[in-house]
Amino acid sequence: MTKRKIVVALGGNAILSSDPSAQAQQEALIETAGHLVKLIKNGDDLIITHGNGPQVGNLLLQHLAADSEKNPAFPLDSLVAMTEGSIGFWLQQALQNALLKEGIDKEVASVVTQVVVDKNDPAFTNLTKPIGPFYTEEEAKAESERTGATFKEDAGRGWRKVVASPKPVAIKEIETIRTLIDAGQVVVAAGGGGIPVIKEDDGSLRGVEAVIDKDFASQRLAELVDADLFIVLTGVDYVFVNFNKPDQARLEKVSVAELEEYIKQEQFAPGSMLPKVEAAIAFVNNKPASKAVITSLENLGELIASESGTIIEKG
């Protein structure tokens, strides 16, 4: 059996259900680790990424609630780092315990990851990613005057702060991640899309107020570690076209060209399935000999046994 290098991008349901407590999230990750270990038992090298959207939103609320001159709220890049660290710790420990249970002698390391974005990315002038609490229009105007933040009306629910969502360009810790993989360790990296940083003219790095899409950051990581397989986990076993309609159909083996045609037909929901499909397409386009898979965490065993899930190939 050929050992594969696999990047697995965890969906939000792998960490957070309806209970946002630390205990509930740790319990969810214990179950998640039990599924991920199947890939390690199969002999594969594993790099795991994860989301942090709800967690960073909750942490932002906590910081805003306590914000004062003596206890100022932290900026967004620091909040991303804090949640990347806490979720990395939970997942690292859950995986270590799952490996121990299976009698597998393997180390797990989580890497707090800086993801470099282009300071000239148009996303910095077209802010689209809503974060944090809802405000009335009057509250949003007052907060904008106080902090300089940009607010937009969000689907009739109120006004929310919006930040940039730039594309990932490079991963600062990539050599560290490669070294850990080469040493046979399981690696957790680029959590929450990674900490967004820009490179200054002198080469130094600076954190910025932004949120990087976790699926695109995971895709970039998969390319940089030369992964054989990129697995994007979501809430369903397959990607569907005509979803929730009488003629809905699941996609099993599908080419990039077919997926691009479905995108033109607006088959995939923006902010949900669409970025997962786009990230899978980008990975396969840049590594034509490799595959991408979109499926559920619970279906990993079937994926190993029979390639169950939506398998994307160059075609």
> Is residue 58 flagged as an active site residue?
no
At 165, the pLDDT band (50, 70, 90 cuts) reads very high
Please report the domains of the chain, with CATH numbers, ordered by start residue.
Answer: 5-313 (3.40.1160.10)
Q: What percent of the chain has pLDDT over 70?
A: 99
* Secondary element (H or E) of residue 188: strand 186-188
Q: What pLDDT is stored for residue 157 in this prediction?
A: 83
Q: Look at residue 160 and give its three-state secondary structure.
A: strand
Alpha helix (H) ranges present in 42-74? 53-65
Q: Is the pLDDT of residue 132 over 80?
A: no
Contacts made by residues 243-246, CB under 8 angstroms, sequence distance 24+ = 243/267, 243/269
Is 12 designated active site?
A: yes
pLDDT in tens, 133-143: 788 999 999 98
Contacts 24+ apart (CB under 8 A), 277-283: 277/239, 278/215, 278/216, 279/9, 279/213, 279/215, 279/216, 279/218, 279/219, 279/230, 279/232, 280/219, 280/230, 280/232, 280/312, 281/256, 281/312, 282/216, 282/219, 283/219, 283/222, 283/223, 283/227, 283/230
- How far is residue 231's CA from residue 237's CA, in Å, rounded to a whole number? 12
pLDDT average, residue stretch 194-216: 95
* DSSP secondary structure of 93-109: HHHHHHHHHHT----EE
**Per-residue pLDDT at 288 exceeds 90:** no
Q: Is the pLDDT of residue 1 over 70?
A: no
Min mean pLDDT across 53-57, 107-111, 211-215, 250-254 is at 53-57
Q: Which one of 161, 276, 287, 291 is the catalytic residue? A: 276
Least confident stretch, 13-17, 166-170, 193-197: 13-17
Sign for the pseudo-dihedral over CA of 122, 10, 298, 295 = positive
List the catalytic residue out of 11, 192, 194, 214: 214
27-51 pLDDT tens trace: 999 999 999 999 999 999 999 999 9
Q: Which two tokens stand for residue 54?
A: 């709800």
Distance from C-alpha of 198 to C-alpha of 117, rounded to nearest angstrom: 5
Q: What phi and psi values does residue 171 have, to the nearest 5 degrees?
A: -120, 115
Answer whether 207's CB lies under 8 Å from 197's CB: yes
User: Mean pLDDT over residues 280-294, rounded?
Assistant: 95
The CB-based long-range contact list for 242-246 (8 Å cut-off, 24+ gap) reads 242/267, 243/267, 243/269
How far apart are the C-alpha atoms of 292 and 314, rounded to whole Å?
A: 10
Confidence class for position 56, pLDDT limits 50, 70, 90: confident
13 catalytic residue (yes or no):
yes
Provide the whole-model pTM. 0.92
- Catalytic site includes residue 244: no
Predicted confidence band of residue 289 (pLDDT cuts 50, 70, 90): confident
Active site residue 314: no
Q: Are 234 and 268 in contact (CB under 8 A)?
A: no
Catalytic residue among 5, 12, 38, 53: 12
In angstroms, rounded to a whole number, what is the distance separating the alpha carbons of residues 168 and 117? 5
Q: Is the pLDDT of residue 144 over 80?
A: yes
Mean pLDDT of 76-80: 94
